[in-house]
Chain A
Amino acid sequence: MKHLTIILGVLLTLGVSAQTADEILDLVDKNMSSDNRIIESTMIIHGKRVSRTITLKSWSVGNEQAFTEYLSPAREQGTKMLKIENQLWIYSPSTDRTIQIAGHMLRQSVMGSDLSYEDMMEDRELKEVYNAEVIDEETVDERNTWVLELTAKVADVAYYSRKTWIDQERFVPLREELYAKSGQLLKRTDLKDVKQIQGRWFPMKMVFKDMLKDGDGTEYLITSIQFNQQIPEYIFTKAALKQ
């Protein structure tokens, strides 16, 4: 009986690790994703010489549609960005121009941050793109995590593999690393300050860092987040940019 328990226990544990990498992602998704969300946030970009703080308000539906408005600083206030699937437009009120950011421009960094437009544009779910596997358990910020390794199963991805550390209890990623095909670490994101909002656990602070480059990276702080709100359809049209 005792043996059985042990064997069962081992089997269960193994079972959990082996079979649930996808399930873990599902749980994470369930926790983190929503039909839509409205976020107010602050982005702090640590430059070589000065740090810049930008505040943003964004509306998004799933991964396909997003609309972002810059609230400050004064210079960028009123600048809007619209993303529909893989297209991106920027509207600047001072010039009254709607500019399509296409092709090569998407690979440029956003506002001097460690993120490229493309990084923000990725709209496929991780599960569609990657095979996931639990490879380890580690402690991050005093929380037990599963370490998941994600390896691309399709060709057209920016990052061939990722590692993510998922809180075993709250199903929130606490750290993410992006790797080149050669296995070289390219970028790291630390997700901190996990809070419960509308019954979900959500990291309110993220720090992005380009690992090949010196510098202190980019901080992203969420000041408020609301899930599953009523968002009018027109907000995701080019016409809304000019308003």
Chain B
Amino acid sequence: MIRFLLKGLIRDRSRSLLPMIIVAIGVMLTVFVRGYINGIMVDMIEQTARFSTGHVKVMTRAYEENMDQVPNDLAMLEISALTGDLRQSFPDIEWVSRIKFGGLIDVPDENGETRSQGPAMGIGLDLLSDHSEESERLNLDKSLIRGSLPETSGEVLLSEDFSQKLEVDPGEVITLIGSTMNGGMAIYNFTVSGTVRFGNTGMDRGTVIADLHDVQRALDMDDAAGEIIGFFSSGFYDDEIADPVITRFEAQYHDEEDEYAPVMVRLRDQEGLSLYVDMTNFMGTIIILVFMVAMSLVLWNAGLLGGLRRYGEIGIRLAIGEEKGHVYRSMINESIIVGVAGTIIGTACGLGLSWLMQTHGLDISEFTKNATTGIMMPNIVRARITPPDFFIGFIPGVLSTLAGTMLSGIGIYKRKTAQLFKELEA
């Protein structure tokens, strides 16, 4: 029976192709929209994660309590051992060390004396290792205004506005004056390799981005860092991944006595992101629900249309003596085949599209004319593929098509054999 139906479907393309294309397009849109909505809804969260909170963050308890003061004197020591342990215990999470710091940027004149000076906030992150994804993570490439990204040790990026204020160009030397981890004076020379835009006035006014190892050297923080940040391999924050990780971490490292014992904080508990995480989940669910309903209605309609399209054919089949029930069942079986095939094709295409948009992102900077891209305001929209995307398409794709066919098929039972030939003659 199925073989027969398949043959029919394959040979009569008008019977199979158009409905299948419609189902496929519908399912593709559903899958893609879901990925897309998930992507843009979490974008703001992920932006914060990439820039500062990570999905989880490890720091000393004392550091955590004074986090807004960037207390590097309370930073973690022996981080390579700790990072090694973390990588072993949680291989699915990518661990990166970062140092935030404050200081003064001083630009020398030809005698090496102060020409201009300004207060700065700094971030030290791994820019130079081969496998490091940090510069990609912060969208540094796209945010570059002048010069190039740091390629060798000792090179830094300045925010563009800051570089203008200090009147310093890529290639020139600047000196960081800050305080070392132990409270000593840190004076360290860097070469400006380029300038970037953040898209946030405060950061654009005075920020320096340097390689982690340079910052460690500059601030006498050998094998120390303020924060070890973890990113989930999925690329997206999820309470359900974070919570067991934190529980296991606590079991291993919790130490009530030691102020400098490492503690782990999830994204949700940082910078008031809890509200946003909840809102994102809520809004995302509503939008996807509405879309699913809409999609189902469309495919239902397509099912109805399919039934109408084949009005004549069914007439003939009934006329030559096929049982009404048989026709009805075969129609339904066909619609299941069409639905499943269409859904598979649609899901594949939708996932493909989502995947493209997840990995490459869509640059929307052309649509936002004045706003140039920046580290804090990436004009790249990304989709996000989650497991339900693999089967979500079956609801509109198969069920709705089926419902449409079933409803339109009821008409078969209403048709009177006596009138069939009259209809056919016409």
Contact = CB atoms under 8 A, between A and B. Distances in A.
Contacts of B175: 95, 97, 99
B187 A111 contact: no
Given A47-B183, A112-B179, A112-B183, A97 B106 contact: yes
A43 B111 CA distance: 31
A172 interface: no
Nearest to A92: B187
Contacts of A48: 62, 73-74
A49 interface: yes
Interface in B218-274: 220, 260
Nearest to A48: B73
Contacts of B113: 89, 97-100, 238
Contacts of A52: 182-184
Interface residues of A, number: 27
B229 to A, nearest CB: 22
B71 to A, nearest CB: 9
Contacts of A148: none
Contacts of B114: 98-100, 102
A47 B73 contact: yes
B106 A99 contact: yes
Interface string B94-125: 00000000001010100111100100000000
B47 to A, nearest CB: 32
B73 A97 contact: no
A112 B184 contact: yes
B294 interface: no
Nearest to A98: B113
A83 to B, nearest CB: 15
A75 interface: yes
B187 A45 contact: no
Contacts of B220: 75
Nearest to A45: B183
Contacts of B111: 98
A111 B179 CA distance: 7
A49 B260 contact: yes
A108 to B, nearest CB: 8
Interface string B160-185: 00000000000000010101101111
B135 interface: no
B185 A50 contact: no
Contacts of B74: 48-49
A239 to B, nearest CB: 10
A198 interface: no
Nearest to B185: A111
B52 interface: no
Contacts of A120: none
A173 B73 CA distance: 34
Nearest to A113: B183
B109 to A, nearest CB: 10
Q: Which of B108, B111, B114, B260 has the most CB atoms of chain A within a 10 A radius of its CB? A: B114
A94 interface: yes
A98 B112 contact: yes
Contacts of A112: 73, 179, 182-184
Given A75-B220, A112-B179, A102 B185 contact: no
B90 interface: no
A79 B104 contact: no
A45 B175 CA distance: 25
Contacts of B182: 47, 50, 52, 112
Given A49-B73, A105-B104, A97 B180 contact: no
A233 interface: no
A158 B46 CA distance: 47
Given A95-B175, A99-B106, A99-B175, A79 B185 contact: yes
B189 interface: yes
Contact of A75 (B108, B112, B177, B184): B184
Contacts of B106: 97, 99
Nearest to A238: B113
Contacts of B180: 75
A75 B175 CA distance: 16
Contacts of B73: 47-49, 112
Contacts of A137: none
B51 interface: no
A210 interface: no
B179 A97 contact: no
A111 B114 CA distance: 20
Interface string A114-157: 00000000000000000000000000000000000000000000
B184 A97 contact: no
Nearest to A112: B183
A52 B74 CA distance: 15
Contacts of A90: 185, 187
A76 B188 CA distance: 12
A98 B107 CA distance: 10
A52 B188 CA distance: 20
A54 B185 CA distance: 11
A90 B117 CA distance: 14
A99 B112 CA distance: 8
B187 A94 contact: yes
Q: 9 shortest A-B CB distances, which residue pairs?
A: A112-B183, A92-B187, A100-B114, A95-B189, A98-B113, A97-B175, A52-B182, A47-B183, A99-B106
Interface of A: 45, 47-50, 52, 54, 73, 75-76, 79, 89-90, 92, 94-100, 102, 105, 111-113, 238
8 contacts: A45-B183, A47-B73, A49-B260, A50-B182, A54-B184, A89-B113, A90-B185, A100-B117
Given A99-B114, A99-B177, 20 more contacts: A47-B182, A48-B62, A48-B73, A75-B184, A76-B184, A76-B185, A95-B175, A95-B188, A95-B189, A97-B108, A97-B175, A97-B189, A98-B111, A98-B114, A100-B117, A102-B114, A105-B104, A105-B177, A111-B179, A111-B185
